[in-house]
Each structure stands twice: as C-alpha cells, then as structure tokens.
Amino acid sequence: MNRVTIIGGGLAGSEAAWQLAERNCRVRLIDMKPHKFSPVHSRTDLAELVCSNSFRSNDRHSAIGLLKEEMRRCNSLIVKIADDTAVPAGKALAVDRDLFSEQITGSLEQHSLIEITREEIITIPPESSSYTIIATGPLTSEPLAESLADLTGRDRLAFYDAIAPIVYAESLDMEIIYSKSRYEDGPGDYLNCPMDKDTYLRFIEELAAAACVPLKSFEDVKYFEGCLPIEVIRSRGDDTLRFGPMKPVGLEDPKTGRTPYAVVQLRKENIQGTTSTATPLSAPRNFCGRPCSSSPDPTFSLPGNYQEWRDISNQLPWDYWLELTRPVSHQANLQSSPHRKQLSGL
C-alpha cells in the first residue's frame, strides 16, 4: 500500500488526506499546531478558517457553485462538513467555523488509514522519502518557506491580506438593523446596518483618522486587489466604499422604504447566531477597543451600537505565494527538480 506524507492540515491538506485515505492509501498528515501557530491561526483543530466563514455561492449555475457540486459528487470531506455545519447565508455556503473545524478533525482522526502528527516541518523532505504533498498555505512557517523558495528557484511573492471583524449579536440594536438579502435574493439571512449621508461621512472621516497596525521597517506595502483593506478602498475616494463593499442597492430599509446611503452587511458566524462578521470592513486598521460613538478610541461610529469585537482584526497577516520559474506539470509536480513534490493551492 502506498503511503503519502502531507505537510499542513488546513483545508487543502485535510481534503487531500481524506481523498487519499478513501482510495486505500496510508496518509501521514502533519501540522505544526498547537506547537506553533501562524499569525492568524489560533485553534488546535485542523482545517481552521482564518477569515471569512463563507465559501461563496452554492448556486450550481455559477462556476463556484458548480465546483462545489462536483466536489460533493467526488466525496469531498470539506464540502460535506460545510453542508453539515452551514449557517444561513442566502445563496452562499457559509459555515459555523468552530463546528466545521471540529468535525473535519474528528473525521480525519477516526479514519483508520490517517495518522495525524503535530510537528513543524522545517525543510522539504528528501527525495528518498515517501510522496509528499506540501499544503502549508499562504502562511507557511518561515523555515519551510525558505526551503520552498530554494526549491522553486525564486523569491516569494507576498502581499498583505485583510481580516473582517466579528461582532457579538447581543450588542446589536435591532431597532436600527434589519434582515434582508440583496434584491430579496434569498430568505433575508444578512443583517444590514443602514447609514444615512451624515453617518457615512462621519464614518469615513473616523476611518481616515483611525490607527493602523504598524508596519515593520522592512515591510513593503503590497495589497491584493481582490481583498483590499477598508482604509485603502477609502483612500481612493469618498464614495468608493459606498459604491463598493458598502453599496446599498437592493437593500431598501423595510422600516422606511428608502434605500440607505450606504450599508454594512453582517453575516452569521455560528449556527446559534451569537456572532456575525462585518463583511465589508476587512481591515488591517487597529480595531482594538469598543467601536461605538462614545468610545474615546480612534474607532468608528456605526449604526447599531456594536459593543464588542473579537480581536482577530488587530492583525495584519502577510501571505506568501510562490513565483515558479521551473516548469510545473499539469499535476503540479516540480518537473526539473530532483524532488517530485506535489504543490497545492496553486
């Protein structure tokens, strides 16, 4: 029986381990947690979601929905558990992140062909070792990232990513906030915090004045255009946010019948609905403190009186990506390297 070593028990490594084991292949799945955590990982479970709890559209008529359906038919562990731990999110597939990781870890631990080891791998295993899948993700630990850069022959590409804040449901004022999906395209799973013009202008003014997570002297600011921090979007113009992630179209306030000037949408984080993600507010700004208008902290006045924020937003992760100069086969093997190592997450 073949044996495969998988380094990294995130989403990619967990799915790979499951698929191989289900095909009667022995797997050794290695993750450095809990001995070492990346700047954004904090749970000991595998398949930890570090940012959004949404896997986006579940609609089979969209490419991403179709991909999920194909994965379902291929016995995907990730998609099965996502279905089992789904939280209401309109047409999107969003999950209770704690249950999701817990159940994936449980399924992998119970599989007779999967052995889970908790250890940091610091160099690419030698060629003589078993087949290896490297699935250490965008926050690969530094020594292994160095080793990978040596192997692939080029420096890493890197950019800053943003994390959305999570708010406690009990701190929301439902007199102001209303449930609705955009264009009524779903049962109204999102909570909408409406802003009138004055509130929005105050919001972007406070945003411009809020403290940033300090960068280290050697850090070069590069952002991923697909996931920009909120203050970078704001810096592109006063209206950019309200025509972008805070756009109000299709979200008329049922209490007034009017379309707000801008909206912050919240999506449930867990099945009980005790926490929600403020999806448009992804930011490396320093959100520490209590962001309500009476707070002396340099934070924002938002409608709905949010009182508590989980402090994952006080972080500015730095994602690594590899720029490959050596040819990679259609199976993502490094071809001209003595190593025939599988890369994942390309």
Q: Does 161 bind ligand FAD (CB under 6 A)?
A: yes
Nearer to ligand FAD, 12 or 167 (CB): 12
Nearer to ligand FAD, 159 or 168 (CB): 159
Q: Does 40 bind ligand FAD (CB under 6 A)?
A: yes
Q: Does 68 bind ligand FAD (CB under 6 A)?
A: no
Q: Does 137 bind ligand FAD (CB under 6 A)?
A: yes
Report the C-alpha gap between 163 and 166 in whole angstroms.
9
Q: Does 50 bind ligand FAD (CB under 6 A)?
A: yes
CB of 254 to ligand FAD, least distance (A): 29
Q: Does 30 bind ligand FAD (CB under 6 A)?
A: yes
Structure tokens at 152: 């692939």
Q: Which one of 31, 45, 96, 189 is in contact with ligand FAD (CB under 6 A)? A: 31
Alpha carbon 345 to its chain centroid, in Å, reads 14
CB of 205 to ligand FAD, least distance (A): 27
Q: Does 269 bind ligand FAD (CB under 6 A)?
A: no
Q: Does 81 bind ligand FAD (CB under 6 A)?
A: no
Assess contact for 335 and 342: CB atoms under 8 A.
Answer: no
CB of 82 to ligand FAD, least distance (A): 12
**Amino acid, res. 72:** R
Q: Does 13 bind ligand FAD (CB under 6 A)?
A: yes
Go through the chain and tell me how many residues it has. 346
| Cis peptide leading into residue 34 (ω within 30°) | yes
Phi/psi of residue 84, nearest 5 degrees: -70, -25
Q: Which one of 120, 146, 231, 239 is in contact with ligand FAD (CB under 6 A)? A: 120
Q: Does 303 bind ligand FAD (CB under 6 A)?
A: no
Q: Which one of 4, 5, 9, 152 is in contact with ligand FAD (CB under 6 A)? A: 9
Residues that bind ligand FAD (CB under 6 A): 7-13, 30-33, 38, 40-41, 50-52, 120-121, 135-141, 144, 161, 163, 317, 319, 345
